């Protein structure tokens, strides 16, 4: 621990320096590769696994089962409607969830009774519900509208606070990097895209921007009057700011990620499919990617945007 503290002090004082800005082509290359993978891989495997809230359909839930065998549920559903291909998942230690395409009332009741008989439970232990695809479309529309408003307000606020719109552009570039990669990894895992996952994805936007603003605040402090300096450059001062906030970013991220990882573990392996798992996975991926982008994407992009300004161009 003391060595890490000493390392942090050395980074802050400038005795030790990690050349983040100078190696920006490397970070750009890594980012491009990751973004391409995040876009192409989900398409190659058939796209996102949208939950019933988005695609619509019928859902059955069985509680208090002694045997959570998924095949029992499949056989019960297909005994009523052989053409149906149910999606069966275990939830926790004594519950099973079955999702199908939209069913009429008669078929729904027949399947509900068949499931109760298959698991040896009273019919009251099996609940059924129908969710229309319009509900998911409404959620998606509102999420997109909220995202657009959020990005506009944040861009204006950052431009006003930092006195330059180029910081907003750099922050949004890092944000786009975070969203695309998080969504791509989410699709690759095969987890369902549910409203909880959308909430998690929107939540990481705030976290990513928070970490970026912390770095940029130090950048602004270090670059005040740098054009009048004879012994330093704009890029070197930005790099110093990144080094000075590096340990803080790592510590903040670790503290934030650990409880999210615990929630993800509980949601995925203890409670099974559910809201906890969906939102925790999006948060877990997004926090890691957001921390990375604040250091290795946002600051290098900001330098790239400003170093050709006349007052800095002669001081490379």
Position 101 scores a pLDDT of: 84
Q: Which two tokens stand for residue 55?
A: 């695609």
Q: What is the mean pLDDT of the chain?
A: 81
Instruction: Work out the percent of the chain whose per-residue pLDDT is above 90.
Output: 7
Tell me which of 36 and 145 has the higher pLDDT: 36
Structure confidence by residue, pLDDT tens digits, 254-268? 888 888 888 877 766
Q: Which two tokens stand for residue 172?
A: 């949004």
Mean pLDDT of 173-192: 85
Tell me which of 275 and 152 has the higher pLDDT: 152
The model's confidence at residue 313, banded by pLDDT at 50, 70 and 90, is low
The neighbouring-strand residues paired with 87 are: 99
Position 231 scores a pLDDT of: 72
Q: Which two tokens stand for residue 15?
A: 């005795």
CB 142 within 8 A of CB 150: no
Instruction: For the beta carbon of residue 224, count every other beta carbon within 10 angstroms.
Output: 10
Position 14 scores a pLDDT of: 66
The neighbouring-strand residues paired with 57 are: 131
Position 3 scores a pLDDT of: 62
Structure confidence by residue, pLDDT tens digits, 54-113? 777 888 888 888 777 788 888 888 888 888 888 887 776 778 888 888 888 888 888 888
Asked if the model's pLDDT at residue 163 lies above 70, the reply is yes
CATH of domain 57-131: 3.30.70.3400
CA–CA distance, 314 with 316 (Å, rounded to integer)? 6
Asked if the model's pLDDT at residue 152 lies above 80, the reply is yes
Position 207 scores a pLDDT of: 81
Helix (H) or strand (E) holding 108: helix 105-118
Dihedral angle at the C-alpha atoms of 295, 296, 298, 300, nearest 10 degrees?
120
Position 32 scores a pLDDT of: 93
Position 35 scores a pLDDT of: 92
The C-alpha angle with vertex 32 and arms to 157 and 144, in degrees rounded to 5, equals: 45
Q: In the chain, what are the domain boundaries? A: 2-51+134-313, 57-131
Tell me which of 83 and 4 has the higher pLDDT: 83
Q: What Å distances lie between residue 278 and 54, 68, 267, 268, CA to CA? A: 14, 21, 8, 9
Position 267 scores a pLDDT of: 66
Dihedral of CA 199/266/254/291: which sign? negative
Q: At the top level of CATH, which class does the domain 2-51+134-313 belong to?
A: mainly alpha
Asked if the model's pLDDT at residue 305 lies above 80, the reply is yes
Structure confidence by residue, pLDDT tens digits, 18-48? 888 889 999 999 999 999 998 888 888 777 8
Query: What pTM did the predictor assign?
Result: 0.79
Position 136 scores a pLDDT of: 67
Position 28 scores a pLDDT of: 92
3-state class (DSSP) for residue 89: strand
Mean pLDDT of 112-122: 86
């Amino acid at each position: 621990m003391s060595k890490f503290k000493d390392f942090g002090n050395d980074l802050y004082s400038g005795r030790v320096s990690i050349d983040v800005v100078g190696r920006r082509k490397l970070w750009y290359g890594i980012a491009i590769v990751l973004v391409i993978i995040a876009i192409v891989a989900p398409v190659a495997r058939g796209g996102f696994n949208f939950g019933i809230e988005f695609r619509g359909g019928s859902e059955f839930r069985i509680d208090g089962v002694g045997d959570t065998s998924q095949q029992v549920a499949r056989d019960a559903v297909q005994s009523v409607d052989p053409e149906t291909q149910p999606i069966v998942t275990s939830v926790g230690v004594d519950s099973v969830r079955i999702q199908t395409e939209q069913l009429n009332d008669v078929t729904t009741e027949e399947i509900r009774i068949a499931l109760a008989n298959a698991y040896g439970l009273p019919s009251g232990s099996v609940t059924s519900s129908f969710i229309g695809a319009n509900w998911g479309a409404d959620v998606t529309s509102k999420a997109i509208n909220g995202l657009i408003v959020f990005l506009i307000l944040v861009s204006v606020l950052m431009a006003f606070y930092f006195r330059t719109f180029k910081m907003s552009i750099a922050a949004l570039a890092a944000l786009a990097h975070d969203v695309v990669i998080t969504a791509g990894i989410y699709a690759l895992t095969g987890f369902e895209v549910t409203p909880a996952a959308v909430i998690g994805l929107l939540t990481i936007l705030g976290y990513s921007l928070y970490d970026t603003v912390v770095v940029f605040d130090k950048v602004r402090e270090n670059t005040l009057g740098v054009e009048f300096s004879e012994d330093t450059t704009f890029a070197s001062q930005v790099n110093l700011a990144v080094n000075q906030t590096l340990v803080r970013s790592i510590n903040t991220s670790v503290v934030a990620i650990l409880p999210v990882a615990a929630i993800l573990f509980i949601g995925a392996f203890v409670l099974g499919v559910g809201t906890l798992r969906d939102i925790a996975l999006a948060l877990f991926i997004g926090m890691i990617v957001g921390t990375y982008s604040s250091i290795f994407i946002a600051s290098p992009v900001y330098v790239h945007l400003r170093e050709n300004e006349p007052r800095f161009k002669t001081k490379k």
